[in-house]
Chain A
Amino acid sequence: MTRSTAQAQPAGNLPLAKALNEGMRKAMENDPKVLVMGEDVGKLGGVFRVTDGLQKDFGEERVIDTPLAESGIVGTAIGLALRGYRPVVEIQFDGFVFPAADQIITQLAKMHMRSLGALQLPVVIRIPCGGGIGAVEHHSESPENYFTHTAGLRVVACSNSADAYTMIQQSIASPDPVIFFEPKRRYWDKAPVDVEAAPADWRPLHDAHVVNPGEHVTVLAYGPSVKTCLEAAAAAAEEGRSLEVIDLRSLNPLDIDTVTESVNRTGRCVVVHEAPVFSGYGAELAARITERCFYRLESPVLRVGGFSTPYPPSRLEDHYLPDLDRILDAVDRTFAW
């Protein structure tokens, strides 16, 4: 049960799902109060196998297969947190979080303030998000803005294996509730994970990360879109354009200083996310960047995202999701002003 993570999986390339699994395992080893709960998280290991093997090693009391009721899962997680536990809840798919929205928004987010600070709610809600896997309706959505708009929640989104491993552990350690978005179409992407690094050396949970330094245009992204933006940066480089790609990692709070520093240098900014553009996270970024970088901007902040429609049938999702060409098109347009 206490097998060493390093022995289990030597430092090296890990799929993102496995990095999350190792991160949760580490947190459960370090703190007996950490619980995992959700639908099918036990024997099956979750529909994406992110919790694979945890119940076998930590038992049914700590890795709880729950009844099929999302509000019930989050509501009981709140109760467990009030009793001193640190539940890590898995919502099976993005589109299934809505039955739990009431418990998240009216209870989880507000209880610390309601109690004048007496109560802490260290609950992590993991949500596989985004499209690109050819799924049926409700399995490809990007509901982050419902939660970034709710004070009292912290909202983060990992984009790669290394961040997945550290960010899930940092989220579990947070005294505040954290909505943790996982890019489901990147679950199988492998990347190096340093499981030996000391937590003190990890990038702070709410810091953005400049994943591709550049000079001409700042491209802001998070979650599944980061990889697409890096591909766009590589393509742009061939044409002599240097894109600075920033992985925001944390949506609430937002590391606005890293963003501001970059845009003040480049003078141009494109925001990319899978969620619909209208009233999306990009709108908040555009407004804040405009306030802080007004005299340095060479063009308006442009947004590339999902259309303002419901997520379409999957045969159309390649048109709906921001891809390399649409990102480069927006980059071009920032030079047209």
Chain B
Amino acid sequence: MTIDSVRGAPDTPELAQPDRDGTELIQLLTPEGERVEHPDYPLDLTPDEIRGLYRDLVITRRIDLEAVALTRQGELGIWASLLGQEAAQIGSGRALTANDMVFPTYREHGVAWCREVEPLNLLGLFRGVNHGGWDPAEHGFHLYTIVIGSQTLHATGYAMGIQRDGVLGTDKAGATIAYFGDGATSQGDVNESFVFASVFNAPVVFFCQNNQWAISEPLEKQSRIPLYKRAQGYGFPGLRVDGNDVFACLAVTRKALEAARTGQGPTLVEAYTYRMGAHTTTDDPTRYRLKAEEEAWKLKDPIERVKAYLVRNEMADTAFFDDLDAEAKKFATELRKACLALPDPQPLAMFENVYADKHPLMTEEQEQFAAYLASFEGPVVSEGAAS
């Protein structure tokens, strides 16, 4: 039976063609590693900067790989892998300045890297020692938000605060950037954040990593038009960038942030990419998608194309790549060691920080629980003594 509301999904090769409906995909580096120019997005990077981006990409992937391994070995409760999305995150993350504020989902490990959040802190969350162990203000990087789309409103409200501080257009100007995925675009909060950002002209960049899959649901279950085109309906610009192209993600995000900081309001950036791994370590993509699709996207790998560019232009030699691999490996080894050494929090700590001010119920329950725990510490009475 066919009902009108259920359309067949486009076949895989078609899905992999971003421009199938006349959509323009902003790209500055092809999957083969060839530099292409775009009139609206000139980008002039030094070889050092390009090697720096490459290092970010490689180390981020290595951290992610280590976290997946730690989860398989039972050391983390779960992990949301960013495999395949490194360029979208590093490109946008390196576009940020100190005054900007990031509102991430739970998959933004690459952006966290750019904001100098200790990777160990990310692992701590997934290991269950805390819900986020960094100070957002110190890093300009808010805590990971797990409820889908909630943080887009926080980013918008924070941006409204920047407006009210009267700093837009000055050297103290900042913008916010809200990260979310394709599935999140169906959430009410994301749509409400578009409305608020639009009517208040708030300095926020909506950075949607369209990785094609919301756990098992393909994009067709979320939208019948390309996601970036939704921005028009809310009254601000939307554009689609090759999310596997770190150069393009950098250039596009830079421009959108600068527009926000100078009072030109929000932009929706759809970074067109692909989630190469499972949604999380508990997911099994073989149940809902074809291997052929993954293979097609492997050819667009975000790291390989930068490597090809570096080699082609003699900006890096074998020693550079070998050294970087060694550095990444060492980094991962130390991260693993530190993760295994993470102490469990003290039981009584769960009552702390529920409230900023004193709260009698927290005090009461903490004292009761402390007394209960202490009751196990007294002298052991043997059964013989009891009789």
Residues of A within 8 A of B (CB): 35, 61-62, 66-67, 69, 71-72, 74-85, 99, 102-103, 106-107, 110-120, 151-152, 154, 174-176, 206, 252-254, 256
In the bound assembly, the distance between CA atoms of A77 and B199 in angstroms comes to 16
Interface residue? B341 (CB, 8 A)? no
Q: Which residues of A contact B161 (CB under 8 A)?
A: 79-80, 82-85
**Given A78-B153, A79-B156, are A103 and B189 also a contact pair (CB < 8 Å)?**
yes
CB distance from B44 to the nearest CB of A (A): 33
Name the residue on B nearest A85 (C-beta). B161
**Given A76-B156, A114-B143, are A102 and B150 also a contact pair (CB < 8 Å)?**
yes
**B157 contacts A118, C-beta separation under 8 Å:** no
Name the residue on A nearest B358 (C-beta). A253
Name the residue on A nearest B155 (C-beta). A79
In the bound assembly, the distance between CA atoms of A120 and B356 in angstroms comes to 7
Kindly supply a per-residue 1/0 record for chain B positions 156-173, scoring 1 wherever the CB is within 8 Å of any chain A CB and 0 otherwise: 111111111100000000
| Contact partner, B355, options A85, A112, A118, Cβ 8 Å | A112
Name the residue on A nearest B204 (C-beta). A79
**B147 contacts A72, C-beta separation under 8 Å:** no
**A119 contacts B192, C-beta separation under 8 Å:** no
Q: Which residues of A contact B147 (CB under 8 A)?
A: 102, 106-107
Interface residue? B137 (CB, 8 A)? yes
CB distance from A153 to the nearest CB of B (A): 9
From 157 to 195 in chain B, residues with beta carbon under 8 angstroms from any chain A beta carbon are 157-165, 176, 188-189, 192-193, 195
Q: Which residues of B contact A154 (CB under 8 A)?
A: 355, 359
**Interface residue count for B (Cβ, 8 Å)?**
44
Q: Which residues of B contact A74 (CB under 8 A)?
A: 153
**A83 contacts B157, C-beta separation under 8 Å:** yes
Interface residue? B135 (CB, 8 A)? yes
A-B contact pairs, 11 of them (CB 8 A): A61-B163, A67-B195, A71-B192, A72-B195, A75-B154, A76-B193, A106-B147, A106-B150, A107-B145, A152-B354, A176-B356
CB distance from B379 to the nearest CB of A (A): 30
Q: Which residues of A contact B383 (CB under 8 A)?
A: none
Q: Which residues of A contact B158 (CB under 8 A)?
A: 79-80, 82-83
Interface residue? B131 (CB, 8 A)? yes
Interface residue? B357 (CB, 8 A)? yes
In the bound assembly, the distance between CA atoms of A118 and B13 in angstroms comes to 47
**Given A85-B164, A111-B143, A115-B136, are A67 and B192 also a contact pair (CB < 8 Å)?**
yes
Q: Which residues of B contact A106 (CB under 8 A)?
A: 147, 150
| Contact partner, A253, options B159, B165, B359, Cβ 8 Å | B359
**B150 contacts A116, C-beta separation under 8 Å:** no
**B192 contacts A151, C-beta separation under 8 Å:** no
Interface residue? B232 (CB, 8 A)? no
The majority secondary structure among interface residues of chain B is: helix
**A72 contacts B353, C-beta separation under 8 Å:** no
Q: Which residues of A contact B354 (CB under 8 A)?
A: 112-113, 151-152
Kindly supply a per-residue 1/0 record for chain B positions 136-154, scoring 1 wherever the CB is within 8 Å of any chain A CB and 0 otherwise: 1100001101010010111
Interface residue? B285 (CB, 8 A)? no
Interface residue? B292 (CB, 8 A)? no
Q: Which residues of B contact A252 (CB under 8 A)?
A: 361
Interface residue? B130 (CB, 8 A)? yes
**B355 contacts A176, C-beta separation under 8 Å:** yes
CB distance from B87 to the nearest CB of A (A): 28
Q: Which residues of B contact A72 (CB under 8 A)?
A: 153, 189, 192-193, 195-196
Name the residue on A nearest B130 (C-beta). A116
**Given A61-B164, A175-B357, are A82 and B136 also a contact pair (CB < 8 Å)?**
yes
**B143 contacts A115, C-beta separation under 8 Å:** yes
CB distance from A79 to the nearest CB of B (A): 2
**B356 contacts A175, C-beta separation under 8 Å:** yes
| Contact partner, A107, options B150, B160, B199, Cβ 8 Å | B150
CB distance from A15 to the nearest CB of B (A): 30
Name the residue on B nearest A84 (C-beta). B161
A-B interface, 5 closest residue pairs, ranked by CB to CB distance from nearest: A79-B157, A75-B153, A83-B161, A76-B157, A72-B192
In the bound assembly, the distance between CA atoms of A77 and B157 in angstroms comes to 6
Q: Which residues of A contact B153 (CB under 8 A)?
A: 71-72, 74-76, 78-79, 103
In the bound assembly, the distance between CA atoms of A87 and B40 in angstroms comes to 39
CB distance from A310 to the nearest CB of B (A): 24
In the bound assembly, the distance between CA atoms of A71 and B190 in angstroms comes to 10
In the bound assembly, the distance between CA atoms of A111 and B161 in angstroms comes to 18
**B132 contacts A115, C-beta separation under 8 Å:** yes
Q: Which residues of A contact B356 (CB under 8 A)?
A: 112, 117, 120, 175-176
CB distance from A211 to the nearest CB of B (A): 21
**A83 contacts B188, C-beta separation under 8 Å:** no
From 123 to 139 in chain B, residues with beta carbon under 8 angstroms from any chain A beta carbon are 130-137
In the bound assembly, the distance between CA atoms of A77 and B150 in angstroms comes to 12
In the bound assembly, the distance between CA atoms of A99 and B188 in angstroms comes to 9
**Given A103-B150, A112-B355, are A118 and B137 also a contact pair (CB < 8 Å)?**
yes
Name the residue on A nearest B202 (C-beta). A76
